[in-house]
Structures are given as C-alpha cells and as structure tokens.
Amino acid sequence: TPGHIRSIRKARGVAPILAQQSIRENARTGRTPQEVMDDAMWGVFQEGWRDGFGADADHLKTTADADVTAAAGYTFFTVDPGDHVDDEAHTASLPDLERKFAALPWADLDSSPADLRARFLGSTFELEDRQLQFDEESLLRAAAKYSRAVTHAARMYRHLDSMLDRPWELEVSVDETATPTSHLEHLYIVSEMRRLGVRWVSLAPRYVGSFEKGVDYIGDLDELRADLAGHAAIARAFGPYKLSLHSGSDKFSVYPIAVE
C-alpha cells in the first residue's frame, strides 16, 4: 500500500483501490478480508493519505463470501458466477442446446422460453459501427451457456443490496471459464442482468487468447483488438460500464490496444 500511494500521489483524479484480494487468495495465504483491509489502512496512515480509496472484494462466489467482506468494510464487490457457466454449450449440438435451453431455471429468470425468444429474435441491436442479431442457434447457445450465471449474479446483487447501508459498486466477472465470451453472449448477459434489475459498473468477459499471471498476453493481437472493440461497443451502448482485464499485469502488448 505505501508503494501504491507514493506512485499516485502527484496524479490527479485517481481513485485508488488499495485493499484488493480474492477469497481464493485469502485462503491460500492464510489471511482474512479484515486483515487485508487492516493492512491497507495502516499503509494509508503511514503515508498520510487524506483522499478516499476503495477496497475490492474479488471473485466472490457465495453469499457467505459477500457477508465476510462486507463486514470488513469493502466497497467494491467482484461477483464471479463462473461456476454457473455451461462451457459445454459453446460447442454442443443443436439438439443438446434445445435440451439445455428447456431445462433452464425459468422461474429464477422470471421469464419463459417464448418470452426470451420474443426479446431477442428478430431484433437488430445497433452498436456504433456494427449491428448484432441473434438467430435461433446463437440465442440458444448464449442462453444455455450463461443464463444460470446471470441468475447467480442477480442473486448476489440482491443479497448485497439488502445488507449494505453504504455506497457500493459491483463488477461481474465471467473471465475464468474455458471458452471465450462472444459479442452476442456479452449482449445477452448484460441485457438479462439489466432486465433483472442488476446495477453494475464493470464487466470482465472471457476474451480471446490467454491472460496468465506474470507473463505477456498469449494469442493473436489482431484478433484481440477486434474482440476488445466489439466488447467496448456493447459496453458503451448498454451502460456505459467499464471492461475489466483480469490478470492484466505484465500485458505490455495489450495496453496500447486497450487504450484504443
């Protein structure tokens, strides 16, 4: 924390997140969310930092995770519904997709197969320099793959909203999955979250290529550029909200593309 504060002291308009660790990292290092927050606070006192700062409770998977981080004073919550993403739907045959689609938790979605088709099929979504349209197969694939993740994110959002009496922000992260998030799937996720009343400030899709910790991006940079451009267009049209690049440290080849 002291190093972070010294690096931004002369900057203007920076709102640093000084306490940030995931529940998984806490478990591996033997720390608690409260200890992470306390360590950040001592760094703030040591450096005489008088401006505000944030605290990110990263990759929360359960309401119990939300409870313990909220009690420690966190203000930013990254919900990770990745366990509820059906990666098999990415390559499943059409008959398998139809079975997966029929078995979705329609009560939790507050919808029906007919209503979902009516919302998406036959519509053209205008996004700056491009248009997106679902056909039957792409809609079934997006719904089968991500609907349970959407309902879990909505459940986590409602839980946090019911318990917090202070300003807070939400990120939804689906980056730790086996298959990339297509632009149509991104559009499906945010359309359904918005319909279910979720309010978020940041989304982390699963981009093409590979983002591994401590090394540069692994993959085709031109393909990533096109992928990021499409995701950014959706974020501007349906938000605006931020796009998050998880495991973004040391991705020196990616930074110029992200700025674009």
Question: What are the mean pLDDT values of the chain's consecutive 10-residue runs (260 residues total)?
Answer: 90 87 92 96 94 92 97 96 97 98 98 98 94 98 99 98 96 95 98 98 96 91 97 96 88 91
- Are the C-beta atoms of 223 and 209 separated by less than 8 Å? yes
Residue length of the chain: 260
- Are the C-beta atoms of 145 and 90 separated by less than 8 Å? yes
Radius of gyration of the chain (CA): 19
pTM of this prediction? 0.94
Q: Which residues of 194-232 are buried (b: 16+ CB within 10 A; e: fewer)?
A: eebebebebbbbbbebebeeeeebebeeeebeebbebbb
> Angle between the 136-163 and 63-71 helix axes, to the nearest 10 degrees?
40
Task: Pick left, alpha or beta for residue 59 (phi over 0 → left; psi -120 to 50 → alpha; otherwise beta).
Answer: left
pLDDT at 213: 86
pLDDT at 260: 85
Cα 54 to Cα 196: distance, rounded to the nearest angstrom: 27
For residues 248, 249, 255 and 259, what is the CA-based torsion angle, rounded to 10 degrees? 60
pLDDT at 109: 98
Indicate which residues carry an active-site annotation: 58, 171
List the 54-60 sheet strands across, edge first.
17-22, 54-60, 76-79, 169-173, 202-204, 242-243
- Are the C-beta atoms of 241 and 202 separated by less than 8 Å? yes
- Are the C-beta atoms of 60 and 79 separated by less than 8 Å? yes
pLDDT at 195: 98
- For 17, the token pair is 């997140």
Task: Pick left, alpha or beta for residue 54 (phi over 0 → left; psi -120 to 50 → alpha; otherwise beta).
Answer: beta
pLDDT at 223: 97
- Are the C-beta atoms of 142 and 130 separated by less than 8 Å? no
